[in-house]
Every structure is written in C-alpha cells, then in structure tokens.
Structure 1
Amino acid sequence: MGYVIAIDVIAVTITTLAVRSTVSGPNSGVRHSEWVAFAVLAAASVLHLEAARGIERRREMAANTSPHTNLKCLWIFAALLLLPLSLVIPLVVLAYAYSWFRVYGRTVAHRKVFSTATYVLASAAAAAVLRGGGLVGAPRLPTGFWSLLVVLAAAATWWLVNYALVIGAILLSNPEATAREALGELSDQLVVCAGLGLGIAIAAVQTSYPWVVPVLMVTVLALHRDLLLPQYQRAAGTDEKTGLATSSYWASAVPVELARADTLRSTVGLLMLDLDKFKEINDTYGHPAGDEALRAVGETIRAEVRQGDLVARVGGDELAVLLPGALETEVLEIAERIRERLVSLVVPVSTTNGGTAKLDGIPASFGAAVYPDVADTMDQLVLAADDALLTAKRSGRNQIIVARPNPPAITDHPADKPVKD
C-alpha cells in the first residue's frame, strides 16, 4: 500500500508541476493547434476503447499475477510527441476514467488509479528524454537519424518505467508470485512496443493530415484484435465471475494434455474440488457474496499451483485443477497446500442489506486422480476424480481422497473349474 500511495503522490506532484509550467513557463499557454490535436486524440482514444470494450473486459478478467497489456499507450505516446505534458496527463486520466466506467467495471477503481499514475510517471520520463535529446517544441517527430534515436529512446523509456512500476506492484501485492509470473509473456510486451510504434505513426499523420486519423481507426482496431489474439483466446475461455478457465475451455485442454503425456510418457494429475456447504454462503449473505467468495477461492488456488497448471470452474461451486506432468505425491502436496489455505482464508463480502461480512475459512473436499495410473481416457480420469471427491464429502468433508486403480477382474481359469462326471 505504501508503494502504491507513493506512486500516486508522485504522479499528482508531476501533474501539478506540469500545469504550473504551462501556465507560468517561458512559453506559457496552450496553442490552438494543440487543443485541436488533444480533441482528436481524445475522441479517437474513447472510440477505440468503446469499440474494443468486449475484448478488453474479458482480457482484464483473465489477468492475474501478470501485467495487463493494453493499447492505450499508442494514443498516449502520440500525444507526447504532439502536446505539452500538461495535456498528455488529462488524456491519460480520460482514458482510464472511461475504462473504469465502460470497460473494467467500477469495482477496481484503486487499480485503475494506480495504472493512471504509472502512465503519468512513464510519460514524464519519456518527455524528459525528448527534452534532453533536443526535441523541445512540438511536434517532436523524427526528421533525421538523431531525432529518430531520441524518439525511440523516449519510447523505450516509457515502456521500461511503466513495466517496472507495474511489476513492482505485482510482486509486493502477491509475495508468492514468482518473478516469471510477474514478468508475463514476452509476446505481451511486444504488443506494447507495437502500440508505441503506432503512436509515432499516428502523431506523424496528425501533424500533416489530422482528419485522416479517424480513418485509421479501422486499422487500429484490426491490429488491436490481431496483436492481442493470443491473449484474447485465453480470455475467451475465462469465467466472468471467477477469472478461472471455463468448463468448455478446460474440457478442450484435458485431451491435449493427455495426448502430450502419451507422447512424452509422462503423467497428468487431476484435482476435483467442491466447496463444503457453499450453499449456506449464498443463502445467508446472498449470491453476490457467493461470487466474491468464489473469486477469492480461485485466486487462492492459482497462487498455490505451478506455472502451466490450469484451474477451471466446471460447475456452480465445483473447481478442477489440471496438473500436467505431476506424480501422485506432487498432486497430494498441491492439494494439501490448497486445502490448508482455504481453511484459513478470510474473505470480506458484501451482504444483501448493503453491509459487509467476513467469511472465516472456506473449506473444500478434494478428489485426486493421476493419468495413466487410474485411467486410460479423459472420461475415466474425470470419473475417477469425481468418485474420489464424492467419497471425501461422504467421509466428513475437508479432506483429500486419491483414486486408486481398480483391481483386475478375477476370472475362472478352465483348469480351476470342477469337472462334471
């Protein structure tokens, strides 16, 4: 919290200094052309966010302990090349405020305030690089080799500052997250680089042909979809209430992992878990409280599994964990860690009367099975884990039961049969 507040305070300080510099600096005031450029970029940014609203909402749900990559940077960096910092910051605030209302939902305002602050700090750092390289007056577009290097250095600075600030927040707020998880995928960061490159192109077009920018929106939206396709495919299989994989996505992933295990002569572990007496939470506090509890459970489970494991919501309060390459001992270790965390989990939830309540522990029953030890097919694996889960619930709940291979059928050997006279 101290880290986040410090970043927010620095962003407010930078904003104050930028406004003061514009009002009382040697070149005080904002030119008419800059107001026009601001209006065009603001309108284009809002249209872009609205057109990509469905994609971005699902991608936000899929984000967990990795940076959430978006293409707002293309409009912000274009503004950095065309406008004073005092107008770039309002554009950042407008983009995130609109996202808060229309894209991400109003329940994550604190996260969007921090994201806004990181954009402000990144923009200020990039503006300092532009000034240090001699690109003082707008437009700060590359017109030669040196100016191109300066603009590229500013873009790299913008990316690095924003990326580092976000990773710092992830690691501090999720101590159990690994550095690999916090850094995210390299392909995601290439999306940001592409967005910054688009920002340079947008700024160049805006300078010479401002009314062509709206026409470029079709190109931007097409690139948005294609650049974020891998992320969108992951997000499309995300349950909206929990952020976990959907049952259909999970069902398509299991056969793939079983086939890979056959090729590598490896194993696949499966955990099926059902939250004990979850119906009481819904009946006592309401379904919104149940949704909050489910999401907290999902986040807890994802924090305890390995990189590459898949956690899915396969029913109302039934979850599944696919553990590629896991042996029975590893499956049991992971299951026990999850069980202990859920027992001690404390979740504040909203109640139907507008108040809040605190759930002290959300225990679960577990059924575990390992392929190919107890099953030859996906259906057999799921059935074995389900049967073990049912046994766990019938045996007192809040425990882990492992499916065992069925003993071979006993058949009579002809030599053992009595001989009739």
Structure 2
Amino acid sequence: MLAFVLVTDLLAIALTVSCTVLIPVNGTDWLRFAALVVGVVAHLEAARGIERTREVSVEGSPYTNLNSLWMFAGLLVLPFPLVVALVVINYLHLCTRIWSGVIVYRKVFTVATMVLAGGAALAVLIACGLTGTPRVPTGFWSLLAVIAAAACWWLVNYALVVGAILLSNPELAARKALGEPADQIVVLAGLGLGLVVACLLISFPWVVPVVMLTIVALHREFLLPQFQRAARTDAKTGLASPTFWAQLVSAELTRARLTNSSVGLLMLDIDHFAEVNNTYGHLAGDAALEAVVRAVRHEVRHDDLVARWGGDELAVMMPGAHAEELLKAAERIRLRLAQTEVSAADATSGRVVEIKALTVSVGAAVYPESGTDVDGLVVAADGALLAAKAAGRNQVRLAMPGGPGIPISN
C-alpha cells in the first residue's frame, strides 16, 4: 500500500513539474483561474456542514463530492498547471475549513489522484484534437471528446482510490470499498456540471453566479440519501431496519387489499444464540448471525424484504406469498442452516472453531388469514415463533386464527 501511494504521489509531482515547465500561462488564464477559485471556495463554504458529516460517514469507501465540477471546468478552460493549483487550493480549503483530524498522507494522495485523473483526461482531449484552451465543445464530435475525457477522469480517480482502500485494508469487503453506485452517479453528474460551468464561463460569465445557487442546492440535497440509507438499514447486517420494514409492509398490505392478494411474514429467531456469544464471544456470534442472514437471503425471492428485527431475530416480508409458499421458504432456510458450518475465532483461546448445525425457530403469518394490519401480522407471526420455541425449537409454525400456531416441521 505504501509503495502504491508513493508511486501515485511521485507520478503526480512529475506530471505537475513537467506541465509547469512546458505549458505557458497568460493573463486571461489567470482571470478565469480567479473566477474558479472564488466559485470553489464559495461552494465549499456553503456546504461546509454537510461535508463535515459526510467525510466521517463514508470512512472505508470512496469519498465523493461535487467539487470535481470545478476541477473539470478548470481542465476545459485553463492550462494544466493552473488546474493543479485549483486542485491544491480546493483540498487546502477542505483541510483547513471543513475536515477535522486530517491524516496528511491521505489528503496528499487524494490530491495526487485528482492530478493524475486530470492528466489522463487532458491526454484524451489532446488526442481528440482539443489542444488549446478553452476546450469547450463546439460540435458533436468535440462534445464526444469532452464526454470521453470526463469518463477517463472518473475512471482513473475511482480506480486509484479503490485500489488504495483495498490495499490498506485487505479484509474489507469489496462491496464496501467500491462504495454506493449512487455516489458515483453524483460524481459523473458533477463532471457534467463542470462542462456547463466551463461553457458559461467562456460565453456567458455573468450567468455563473446563478448556476452557483443551483449547485449549492444540489449539494445540500446530496447528504439526504446517506441519511436515508442509515435510517433504513441495520449497520451490522445491511438488512432493513424494523421501522423501514414496517413501513413497506404497511404499503404492501394496502396494495394487497386493492388487488385482493396475500402477504406473507416470517419471524426467525436463532436457537440458543446467547450460548454462542457466551461460549465463543460476540465476534463468533456476529459470524453466526451473518451466516443466518446469508441463508435467509439465499432462500427468499429477490423482491422479498428481510429486516433485522432484534438482536438475533429476523423478519421477512414476502408479497403475494400464500401459506404453502411461505412455509416452503421457511423450511428451506431451516434445512440450509442445519447444514451450515461457521468458522469463527474463540475469544478465550484465539483458536478458530467451527460452529455447526445452526438452527432457527420460525413463525409464519399470512394476510388476511392471520391478521389485517402490520401489528396484527407481527403479533401473529411472533406468537407462532414463540410456540415453535416452546415446542422444542428448530421448527416452523404457521399462525392460525384460532390459536398460536400449528407445527409444520421439527
């Protein structure tokens, strides 16, 4: 990882020095540079509170923001040495005004990735014939060249950042290192806004302040999806949160009433889960919980919604499922887990142990037979779950109108 970071930094330095020596800068370039500096500083100050929150919340994933729009606009209207200066000013402002507890080598690496991404994009523009500034498109083919340069900028920067994340933490899941696809779409949208700003700066510079208001408004909404994901998702398992799950169940019940269809619910509880924690430690318990989550996800349909209902309890909503389909899914989960072995570290000895034959008790309920609203269905499924546990665990019970449940398997 250290070699990767150092090579990236050195390549960025070499590119900066060579371009500074070879590429001249004139007075008009400095005026455009000053306009972009004002834009990026004003943008960052307006979004300062958002960025402070976002940097912490995306730790371990690519940190994305809309600031790349100013860098890409600079690439289209400025000589490359001033593009590098704009990148440096951008991140110096972030470090001094927004970020706290800055890890210097990370930020230097981030600047280096932006410089190399800009250099790769510049190479694409030059290869397509856009050699001098400004490089704003004037026709269809020049627009394609700018789009190709934007894609190159994104790809190089993204690949370098993800590579550094994976090398610094090999145990990190690749899905986490790649980040959210929606965040990368925002980056691409930022590059598109950069093209708009560059065109306006060349042709209608007095319109840029109006566009600034739009950019700041978009940036303020940028944090909302992250808060929504945090509210909807259980941090440990990645499953839906109980509140979000209940909201979707309520919406699905409304649809079922209108279409005269059914909705199935499963409540699952890991048998003797406390013994796993007490015997091997909580990390082993987490590994067992992850195994149960994988089994449940594997055996339910793509459109079914799984939630972490409690510490070791999961809830599943299966739209359109009748009792027979619901019970088949529960039985598949139960049988899969009975054949599952989980490797985990024993907290006491440090040795790797095998946790065998995980079992679950399952309660099932179906709308409208078992209940007609969310609370009624949950109570019915939970009652069937308790009946399964009381009857000896490792079995499935279906909630019935006249009682807590009937035995399905053991």
> TM-score scaled to structure 2, two decimals?
0.63
- Aligned equivalent of 2:377: 381
CA distance in 1, matches of 2:189, 2:93: 19
CA distance in 2, matches of 1:29, 1:244: 53
- Aligned equivalent of 1:256: 251
Q: Compute the displacement of 1:258 (Å).
A: 1.2
- Aligned equivalent of 1:150: 145
Aligned in 2, Cα 1:254/1:18: closer, same or farther, shift over 3 Å? same
CA distance in 1, matches of 2:128, 2:84: 20
CA distance in 2, matches of 1:321, 1:390: 16
Q: Compute the displacement of 1:257 (Å).
A: 0.8
Task: Give the SS at the match of 1:52.
Answer: helix
C-alpha RMSD of the superposition: 5.9
Structure 1, residues 152-173: CA drift from partner, whole Å, max 9, x if none? Answer: 3423555678899999x9xxx9
| Paired residues for 1:65-104 under 5 Å | 71=66, 73-75=68-70, 77-78=72-73, 80-81=75-76, 82=78, 83=80
CA contact (8 A) 1:80 1:88 kept: no
Structure 1, residues 281-306: CA drift from partner, whole Å, max 9, x if none? Answer: 6556776x489558835863674243
- Aligned equivalent of 1:19: 13
1:300 aligns with 2:294: yes
CA distance in 1, matches of 2:12, 2:151: 22
CA contact (8 A) 1:59 1:235 kept: no
Task: Give the SS at the match of 1:272.
Answer: strand
Higher alpha-carbon deviation: 15-24 or 37-46: 37-46
- Aligned equivalent of 2:362: 366
CA contact (8 A) 1:58 1:232 kept: no
| Paired residues for 1:329-348 under 5 Å | 329-336=324-331, 338-339=333-334, 340=336, 343-346=340-343
CA contact (8 A) 1:19 1:86 kept: no
CA contact (8 A) 2:269 2:360 kept: yes
Aligned in 2, Cα 1:341/1:42: closer, same or farther, shift over 3 Å? farther
Residue identity in the other structure for 2:384: A
CA distance in 2, matches of 1:359, 1:36: 62
CA distance in 2, matches of 1:56, 1:136: 37
| Paired residues for 1:109-188 under 5 Å | 126-137=121-132, 140-142=135-137, 147-158=142-153
Aligned in 2, Cα 1:115/1:87: closer, same or farther, shift over 3 Å? closer
Residue identity in the other structure for 2:258: T
Q: Compute the displacement of 1:223 (Å).
A: 0.9
User: Which residues of structure 1 form unaligned runs of 5+?
Assistant: 409-421
Residue identity in the other structure for 1:344: E
Aligned in 2, Cα 1:140/1:12: closer, same or farther, shift over 3 Å? farther
CA distance in 2, matches of 1:119, 1:243: 31
Aligned length: 379
CA contact (8 A) 1:72 1:95 kept: no
Match for residue 321 of structure 1 among 295, 306, 316: 316
CA distance in 1, matches of 2:262, 2:131: 61
Aligned in 2, Cα 1:357/1:59: closer, same or farther, shift over 3 Å? farther
- Aligned equivalent of 1:391: 387
CA distance in 2, matches of 1:79, 1:297: 49
Aligned in 2, Cα 1:233/1:15: closer, same or farther, shift over 3 Å? same
Structure 1, residues 209-249: CA drift from partner, whole Å, max 9, x if none? Answer: 99x99997764342134467567544432334443322222
Task: Give the SS at the match of 1:374.
Answer: coil
CA distance in 2, matches of 1:231, 1:239: 13
1:52 aligns with 2:46: no
CA distance in 1, matches of 2:317, 2:184: 27
CA contact (8 A) 1:133 1:150 kept: yes
CA contact (8 A) 2:388 2:397 kept: no
Task: Give the SS at the match of 2:370.
Answer: coil
CA contact (8 A) 2:41 2:93 kept: no
CA distance in 1, matches of 2:360, 2:24: 61
1:401 aligns with 2:396: yes
CA contact (8 A) 1:247 1:314 kept: yes
Q: Compute the displacement of 1:263 (Å).
A: 2.5
Match for residue 236 of structure 1 among 224, 231, 238: 231
CA distance in 2, matches of 1:13, 1:53: 28
CA distance in 1, matches of 2:215, 2:185: 16
Aligned in 2, Cα 1:243/1:202: closer, same or farther, shift over 3 Å? farther
Aligned in 2, Cα 1:52/1:364: closer, same or farther, shift over 3 Å? farther
Residue identity in the other structure for 1:319: L
CA distance in 2, matches of 1:370, 1:166: 47
Task: Give the SS at the match of 2:400.
Answer: coil
Q: Compute the displacement of 1:270 (Å).
A: 1.4
Higher alpha-carbon deviation: 227-236 or 130-139: 227-236
Aligned in 2, Cα 1:166/1:284: closer, same or farther, shift over 3 Å? same
Aligned in 2, Cα 1:133/1:314: closer, same or farther, shift over 3 Å? same
CA distance in 1, matches of 2:294, 2:217: 36
Residue identity in the other structure for 1:387: G
Residue identity in the other structure for 1:318: E
> TM-score scaled to structure 1, two decimals?
0.62
Structure 1, residues 250-289: CA drift from partner, whole Å, max 9, x if none? Answer: 22221111121232333222121223344456556776x4
CA contact (8 A) 2:384 2:397 kept: yes
